[in-house]
Every structure is written in structure tokens, then in C-alpha cells.
Amino acid sequence: MNGRGERVAGLAIGVALIVCMGDRPALAACDFALQGDGRVSRVLDAKTFRLEDGREVRLAGIELADIADRGRAMLASLIESRDVSLHNTDDAPDRYGRQPAFVALTGSGTPIQFAMLTGGEVLASPTVSDQACSRALLAAEAGARAARRGIWTGSAALKNAESTDDILARLGRFTVVEGTVSSARLAGATFYVNFGRRWTRDFAVTISRRMMASVEAAGIDLKSLKGKRVRVRGWIEKRGGPRIEVTHAGQIELIGAARPISGDLAVKEFVPGDEGK
């Protein structure tokens, strides 16, 4: 059995990483109202599962790494055939009829999302509007990246902004790109963050004028980005060269702004049956 096979086997007996924030569960950072509960009948992928009553649930706050079906085995080991509670601002389904939620095992206040991120199996989503929750998710991902766990053991999960062809290979997929900004400027109704001098061919980030205030309110001074290292996440488009359009403030990070989990954020081993301990 190879290293990954041994890891999956370990997960199959229910041992996984769960993030706890001191004596307070990590749910304190993503403290949303209870929107239902149920028993998990089947895990469909790394962020989707079905309850015994037929409802499909989509894990909020994370995105699939889309690397060899990463994360499905870990999610199955955590929740399959177990009772869970669903938390969010509301229970409105997405356009596919799935319920987006932060999910915790019954008796535990810790969202499964933090285990998935800390284990390096998924990526933090920028779509969470609550800034405290978004920062906690990014910190969990940063911890896995710093420790080179899961998808972060190699270079496949983090794309170099200078590697245009490598980025274009992920057209239409959620991707994290990192690089040094060569120019940042407003042109008409769009702000361009360029990572190369060939504006029509190199990787760039576009921000509509209406989004600029939200991005800057999140601590990003757009006009001062030139020469700075930046990490951006989103869905790859092709407009001449590869592009990511910013539609959520959390898509752009200054390198070093998202700190790995440390100090009062501890990682502990979780074994089924210990939820209430």
C-alpha cells in the first residue's frame, strides 16, 4: 500500500484532523444558525453528501481541489452513516437543489470544513460573506500549506502566475494562483491587476469598479499592489490570456496576510465517539 493508500485506510477507521480553537470550537468563527440535521447516507464527493431523508447537502466555505478526486475519502470517514447538524444564515437551496451548510457531527461544535482544510484536502472558498469566518477558513488552509499536507505536498495546487499555459489548463475550474504584480491600474469600469507585461496574453485579475470598495474595505489597497506578492483564487477564464474575475473580496490576499493556524488554534486527533468530550 502506498502512502496515500495508508492515509485513506487510516481515515476509514475514523481518525481525522479536527481544528479546535482553544476551549471554543472552531464554529465560533463561523457561528451560524442551526438549519436542520440528519443522518448521512452517502458521500458523493469532497463537499457533497446525501442524507437518509433524500436531501443533498453541499459544504459551504470550501472548494474542490479537483486533483484526482481529493478529499472524498476523508469526508466519508468523517461523516458517512453518522448524525450531523447543518448551520448557515438560511436553508435556501442552491440552483441544483442542494443545501449549502457548515456541517458538524452531532454533539460537536466543530465544522467538518476545518478538518478538510487542515488536512489539505480542499481549498478555502472566497464566497463566505462573514469576514471572521472567511479569515478562519483561510487560516486553516494556510496551516495545511505551511505544513505541506495533502494537496500542498507538491506544486499542483498552487499555480505560478508566470506559468500561463499551466493556468489555462484549468480553464473553468477553481484555482489558486500566486505571483508578483507587475502593474495595477483602472481602465474605464475595470481595475486590472497584471502579473506580466503582455497584457493580452499574461495572467491578470479583473475587478469591476463596483467591487473595488468591497476589496479595499477588506484591507487590500489596490493602487499600491504593484511589486507586491499576491495570492488570488477563483475560476479561470480566458480573455486573451488567463483571467480571474474578482466577485468576492476574499479572492485576493497579500502574501503573509493569511496566517497558519497556531497558538490558541490547536489540532487534535478526533476519534468517533469523542464528540462530547
Give the pLDDT means over successive 10-residue stretches in the chain (277 positions): 45 38 56 94 95 97 84 94 95 94 91 94 93 91 93 90 95 96 95 91 96 93 95 95 95 72 38 40
CA distance 14 to 272: 6
- Which residue, chain included where needed, has cell 497584471? 194
Give the pLDDT score at 107.
86
Take residue 90 and report the three cell numbers written for it: 438560511
Give the pLDDT score at 28.
77
* pTM greater than 0.85 (yes/no): no
Give the pLDDT score at 124.
97
Pairing mode of beta strands 56-59, 99-105 = parallel
Neighbours of 48 (CB within 10 A): 17
Classify the C-alpha dihedral 249-259-32-108 as positive or negative.
positive
Give the pLDDT score at 123.
96
CA dihedral 19, 22, 27, 28 (to 10 degrees): -150
CA distance 136 to 110: 12
Give the pLDDT score at 69.
73
CA distance 4 to 1: 8
Q: What is the 3-state secondary structure (H, E, C) of the chain?
A: CCHHHHHHHHHHCCCEEEEEECCEEHHHCCCCCEEEEEEEEEEEECCEEEECCCCEEEECCEEECCCCCCCHHHHHHHHCCCEEEEECCCCCCCCCCCEEEEEEECCCCCCHHHHHHHCCCEEECCCCCCHHHHHHHHHHHHHHHHHCCHHHHCCCCEEECCCHHHHHCCECCEEEEEEECCEEEEECCEEEEECCCCCCCCCEEEEEHHHHHHHHHCCCCHHHCCCCEEEEEEEEEEECEEEEEECCHHHEEECCCCCCCCCCEEEEEECCCCCCC
* Domains recognised in the chain with CATH numbers: 3-153+261-270 (2.40.50.90), 158-254 (2.40.50.140)
Give the pLDDT score at 183.
96
